[in-house]
Amino acid sequence: MQIFYGKAALMDYLSTLKTTNSSIGFVPTMGALHEGHQSLMLQSTKENDITVVSIFVNPTQFNNPEDLEKYPRTLDADIIKISNINPNIIAFAPTVHDMYEGKTLSQPFDFDGLENKMEGKFRPGHFDGVGTIVKRLFEIVKPTRAYFGEKDFQQVQIIKKMVEKNHLQVTIVVCPIHREINNLAMSSRNERLTLHEREEAGIIYKILNGAKAKFSNNSAEKTTQWVKNQFKKNKIFTLEYFEIADEKTLTTCKRKSKNKKYRAFIAVFVNNIRLIDTISLN
Ligand code: AMP
């Protein structure tokens, strides 16, 4: 399996591999790979001649220094997982210095307001960091298709907006959420939960499903209040936000409209570990 630690070497290698017609699938990740990441890689290998997976814990998208410091880093295990999926996958694990050339700063982006809602509101600067790194990675890998998970739905909308605004020649492919047996959305941060917290965290999806049922014959406001009440009763999890929003614009649903698609978004804390999830309400 090929693994590159620097962008120049990867770019050289890809330029020798890329014949005029060969397609490149790209899966950006922050490592600590799980089955959710693996499903993105599998889809990419099915749809492209070449697949590149990046493993890079991007400092500029973390607003909380403790979250950055404690983010799991398991490169050796990740490489084994990637080669087990397909030994032809190319891994890219650059250093912070290689990606940021001594200036670990993000550039400001205008995503037409998408960046100010939910994750953007609670994690200031997060989407500038995401935009900066994804744009840089796209410039290095020059993918035909890039694979992102629906779990980070707002991130997907942001990336699509960046592609549209910058006229980038890449197709964004959105992949379904992979869940643990208790329906907790898979996440690298789950590694930091105790066994008990991880088992109990199934409640997040249960409440999301409950909200979906409520929303079918109640207003967004009533549904949101119901969710807040569920978390008030819970001793382990603290609700950061719950929002029902228009899938396209991510604006909060005030009054239901028949021709709009809605989605619920949630962020909760357990013992300083932040978990997010989402569900379609249509
Ligand atoms: P991350 O390493 O958390 O930055 O995630 C890398 C990519 O994997 C992102 O596009 C995520 O949305 C996606 N991803 C993360 N968790 C899951 C999951 N449980 N199911 C499917 N995709 C996921």
pTM of the predicted model as reported, rounded to 2 decimal places: 0.97
- Tell whether ligand 1 has an atom less than 6 A from the beta carbon of residue 274: no
Confidence (pLDDT) at 183: 98
Confidence (pLDDT) at 184: 98
Q: How many whole angstroms separate alpha carbon 104 and alpha carbon 59?
A: 8
- Tell whether ligand 1 has an atom less than 6 A from the beta carbon of residue 117: no
Per the listing, tokens 């995401």 go with 130
Instruction: Give the 3-state secondary structure of residue 156.
Output: helix
Residues catalogued as catalytic: 37
Give the distance (Å) from ligand 1 centre to CA of residue 280.
17
Give the distance (Å) from ligand 1 centre to CA of residue 73.
15
Instruction: Answer whether residue 18 shows pLDDT above 90.
Output: no
CB-based contact 122:267 (threshold 8 Å): yes
pLDDT band at 19, cuts 50/70/90?
A: confident
Confidence (pLDDT) at 111: 97
Q: What is the DSSP string of 85-97?
A: H-TTPEEE---HH
- Over residues 111-119, the mean pLDDT reads 96
Q: How many whole angstroms separate alpha carbon 64 and alpha carbon 189?
A: 14
Give every CB contact of residue 224 below 8 A, 6+ residues apart in sequence: 242, 243, 244
Task: Report the first-to-last Cα separation within the chain, whole angstroms.
Answer: 42
Instruction: Answer whether residue 92 shows pLDDT above 90.
Output: yes
Q: Rounded to 10 degrees, what is the CA torsion of 28, 30, 34, 36?
A: -40
- Tell whether ligand 1 has an atom less than 6 A from the beta carbon of residue 178: yes
Confidence (pLDDT) at 21: 82
Alpha helix segments (H runs only) across the chain: 7-17, 35-47, 65-70, 75-85, 96-100, 119-122, 126-141, 153-165, 195-200, 202-217, 220-232
Confidence (pLDDT) at 20: 75
| 135, burial (CB in 10 Å: exposed 0-12, middle 13-18, buried 19+) | middle
- Over residues 44-71, the mean pLDDT reads 97
pLDDT tens-digit map of 2-14: 999 999 999 999 9
pLDDT tens-digit map of 256-265: 999 999 999 9
Instruction: Give the 3-state secondary structure of residue 239.
Output: strand
Domain 3-175, CATH 3.40.1440.60 — does that match? no
Single-letter code of the amino acid located at 200: E
- Over residues 32-36, the mean pLDDT reads 97
For ligand 1, pick from 40, 158, 170 the residue to mutate: most ligand atoms within 8 Å of CB. 40
Encoded tokens for 153 = 């739905």
- Over residues 70-77, the mean pLDDT reads 97
- Over residues 76-81, the mean pLDDT reads 98
Per the listing, tokens 């591999």 go with 17
Radius of gyration, alpha carbons of the chain: 19
Q: How many whole angstroms separate alpha carbon 223 and alpha carbon 230?
A: 11
pLDDT tens-digit map of 212-256: 999 999 999 999 999 999 999 999 999 999 999 999 999 999 999
pLDDT tens-digit map of 188-203: 999 999 999 999 999 9
- Over residues 111-125, the mean pLDDT reads 96
Give the distance (Å) from ligand 1 centre to CA of residue 255.
31
What does the domain layout of the chain look like in residue ranges?
3-175, 188-280
pLDDT tens-digit map of 151-180: 999 999 999 999 999 999 999 999 999 999
Asked if residue 225 belongs to a known ligand binding site, the reply is: no
| 53, burial (CB in 10 Å: exposed 0-12, middle 13-18, buried 19+) | buried
The domain 188-280 is classified under which CATH number: 3.30.420.40, 3.30.1300.10, 1.10.2020.10, 3.10.110.10? Answer: 3.30.1300.10
Averaged confidence pLDDT in the chain: 97
- Which range has the worst mean pLDDT, 11-25, 91-105, 157-171, 182-196? 11-25
